[in-house]
Structure 1
Amino acid sequence: MVTFFEASLDTISVHHVGNQSQSEMYSLSDNPLELKDDIIPNLLMQYFLKPFEKANEVYHLMHSSGDLALNELHNFATKVFDDKEKFHEASEQIAKHLYKVTTHPNIKGGELYVVYFNKVQIEGNPLDAIGIFKSENKETYLKVYPDKGGFQVDYEQDAININKLDKGVLIFNIEKENGYKVVVVDKTNGGQDAAVYWKDDFLQLKIRNDSFNQTNNTLGIYKNFVTQKLDDQFEMSKADKIDLLNRSMKYFKEKETFDMDEFAGEVIVNPEAIESFKNFKSQYEQEFDSPIGNTFEISGNAVKKQARDYKSVLKLDKNFHIYIHGDKELIEKGFDDGRSMNFYKVYFKEEA
């Protein structure tokens, strides 16, 4: 999704943003950071951009009123993309805006880096991008160095691990009228209440309704439907539910395009259950204002992501786990009167 093999770091400004609920202040630098050699920019590029290589979700900036002009980050980004001479001034405004929304007591203060990049690729398109990154967690590092024919050990406190970016966002100079293309990293800490401030309060994002998100949402909705909703209408064993989940995952792995009627006929089959799923999906779309088409291109990356959460394990007390990957007809459930216990009978040809 995001690559940076041609990218370069153009300008960087660093500020400090505290938590106003803890009576902390913010501190602004007078000028952009001076980078005196090639080593520091390369380390910063790794620190800032590498976490985005696995980012699949693309967002847009938005405002709850529907008026994009009221989104602060959209205004700041537009100012810089229109006139790069205003970069440092905009970075100061970004720091002040972040301080304004940093009100939850569990939010940590930290350094804020605002960066202008050239030729960062998103979806194969090299673009200028504004990066905003916050460093909240510091670590202690040991340093070993030669001394007097041997070695000495020293340490450095409050150092930054360049392999652990806490929070970051890239705003790409494309689709301005839609709120730009935006990708985000957020290593949540401080609980759920503190977590929303980066995406919801500071950036104000809405997810782009592309093939990745339509695939991801449909698989997520179907999983919730099978595991939570079907019990209200049908008597189903856990093995039956696992079979339904396996069949849906098989459909998404084998097909290139999702078709609601085809999916319903091949995977769900039961007419009442099909109608129930369509209603369940419609309720999700209305509640989250996130319409999903009845046909869309299936995203392989979204399927891989959801496959990690699709469980095919039948847990029986604390004694046995049965992994169901194929034909459900090869497993039978029964009840032993003599032992007053349930049992499963499994058919197979040979042991692996």
Structure 2
Amino acid sequence: MITSFEAFLDTLSVHHVGNQAQDEMYSLSDEPLDLKDEMIPRLLMQYFLTPFEKTNEVYHLMHHSDINLNEIFSFVTQIFEDNERFHEVSQHIAKHLYAVTTHPKIKAGELYVGLFNNVQIEGELLDAIGVFKSETKETYLKVYPDKGGFKMDYEENGININKLDKGCLIFNTAKEDGYKVVVIDKTGNSQDAAVYWKDDFLKLKIRNDNFNQTANTLSVYKNFVTQKLDDEFEMSKADKIDLLNRSMKYFKEKETFDLDEFAGEVIGNEQAIESFKNYKQQYEDEFETPIADSFEISTNAVKKQARVYKSVLKLDRNFHIYIHGDKDLIEKGFDDDKAMNYYKVFFKEEQ
């Protein structure tokens, strides 16, 4: 979705943001970073943009009453309208991040604000403002030749350009919706510390497109099968796995999702169908995220959800049984002599 082979870094400002809960301060630079060295911008482009090449979710900046009250929306709008104000506004962005850095487990780190040109999202080349934070520092060994041999040295508190901790790209398009935004957040020592980047700093809402309609439907159905069905039906784990496999098969084979068709082909039982529809409605109401009864299926979302759709029966610590096809070829029973459950598996040939 995000490609950067035509992109280049126009301007970059760097600041340091501490944690006010730890009595740390912030430090603002006086001017943008000097990018005259050819290698540094190349490394920075790899560090900042490469992680976004695998992102699929697109967000928008939001505010419950007025989008102009979203601080980041206001700041990036100022930059898009007047690039000359870039560094000044980057300082305001750093101060805003410091203001929301209140959880004691949030790490201090450098904040980078960059202006990029010709970054592609969904086939469109656009200017984008990137906001990134490096929290994790590493130690690096250096080996170099010396007098017919080699010497070794090290450098502490270095940054691994292959591991971006936190970042976002805000594209100069769809302003009326809160711009298009993609985000990376790979750190967080607790739930409270983990949400501050997306929720407190950026204030994001996810775009309700085909990717998210597909992902949300699969997620809701998985939770329904694994958590809700036990309240109303007696089902074995093998039966649940079969329901999950059938739903994944539906999404892999169909181009469009239709709720009634899905319910009839995958769930089948009228009482369970009604229960699933009610469960889906409760999710939409609770999270204020409507899921259409019909939409085009996103293959990328299906691939992502397939990783968390488990088709394995875990039996004590001795056996795992993977169920990929006909559940009627596996039978569950109870052995009175051993006082233990068992599964009987039927097959034609061993591979």
Q: TM-score, normalised by structure 1?
A: 0.98
Question: How far apart, CA to CA, are the structure 2 residues paired with 1:200 and 1:242?
Answer: 34
Pairwise CA distance, 1:8: 0.5
Do structure 1's residue 275 and structure 2's residue 256 form an aligned pair?
no
What amino acid is the match of 1:44?
L
Once the two structures are TM-superposed, the CA of residue 328 in structure 1 deviates from its matched residue by 1.0
1:155-212 C-alpha deviation (Å, 9 max, x unpaired):
1111111001110000000000100000000012221111111000000000000111
Alpha-carbon distance in 2 for matches of 1:280, 1:143: 57
Moved more, 337-346 or 3-12: 337-346
Counterpart for residue 296 of structure 1: 295
5 Å matches for 1:80-159? 80-159=79-158
Instruction: Letter of the 2:2 partner, please give it.
Output: V
Alpha-carbon deviations, 1:237-280, whole Å to 9, x = none? 11100000000000000011110000000000000000000000
SS where residue 53 of structure 1 aligns?
helix
Tell me whether 328-337 or 219-228 shows the greater mean CA deviation: 328-337
Structure 2 match to 1:37 = 37
Give 3-state SS (helix, strand or coil) of 1:290's partner: coil
Structure 1 segment 213-224 matched on structure 2, within 5 A: 213-224=212-223
TM-aligned CA deviation for residue 66 of structure 1: 2.7
Amino acid at match of 2:4: F
Q: SS where residue 219 of structure 1 aligns?
A: helix
Name the stretch that deviates more: 214-223 or 332-341: 332-341
Aligned length: 351
Q: CA deviation at 1:149?
A: 2.0
| C-alpha distance in structure 2 between counterparts of 1:118 and 1:345, whole Å | 61
User: Taking every aligned residue pair, what percent have the same amino acid on both sides?
Assistant: 77
Aligned residue number for residue 18 of structure 1? 18
How many angstroms does 1:325 deviate by?
0.4
SS state at 1:250 partner: helix
Describe how 1:52-67 pairs up with structure 2 within 5 A: 52-63=52-63, 65-67=64-66
- 1:179-194 matches, cutoff 5 A: 179-194=178-193
1:351 aligned partner: 350
Amino acid at match of 1:45: M
**Shift in Å, 1:343:** 2.0
**Residue 199 of structure 1 corresponds to which residue in structure 2?**
198
CA distance in 2, matches of 1:318, 1:159: 42
What is the CA–CA distance in structure 2 between the aligned matches of 1:66 and 1:302, rounded to whole Å? Answer: 31
Partner secondary structure for residue 156 of structure 1: strand
Aligned to 1:309: 308
Partner SS for 1:182:
strand
Q: SS state of the match for residue 282, structure 1?
A: helix
- The secondary structure found in structure 1 opposite 2:245 is helix
Deviation at 1:67, TM superposition (A): 1.1
Amino acid at match of 1:290: T
CA distance in 1, matches of 2:12, 2:127: 14
Instruction: Look up the match of 2:3.
Output: 3
Q: What aligned pairs does 1:328-339 form with structure 2 within 5 A after superposition?
A: 328-339=327-338
State the distance in 1 between where 2:143 and 2:84 align: 43
User: Secondary structure, in 3 states, of the residue corresponding to 1:79?
Assistant: helix
Deviations 1:289-328 (A, max 9, x none): 0000000111111111111111111122222211110011
Unaligned runs of 5+ in 1: none
TM-score, with length taken from structure 2: 0.98
Alpha-carbon shift at residue 23 of structure 1 (Å): 1.1
1:336 is displaced (CA, Å) by: 2.4
Deviation of 1:347 after TM superposition, in Å, equals 1.3
CA displacement at 1:333 relative to structure 2:
1.6
Which residue is 1:226 aligned to? 225
Deviation per residue, 1:216-254 (Å, 9 max, x gap): 111010000000100111111111000000000000000
SS in 1 for 2:182: strand
Distance in 1 (CA, whole Å) between partners of 2:242 and 2:155 is 54
Q: Distance in 1 between matches of 2:223 and 2:187?
A: 24
Aligned position for 1:210? 209
Cα distance in 1 between the residues matched to 2:186 and 2:178: 23
Determine the C-alpha separation between the residues in 1 that align with 2:25 and 2:339.
Answer: 67
Aligned mates of 2:101, 2:295 — CA distance in 1: 39
**For 1:28-79, what per-residue CA distance to the aligned partner results, in whole angstroms no more than 9, with x for missing partners?**
111111112211000000000001011111000001x331011000000100
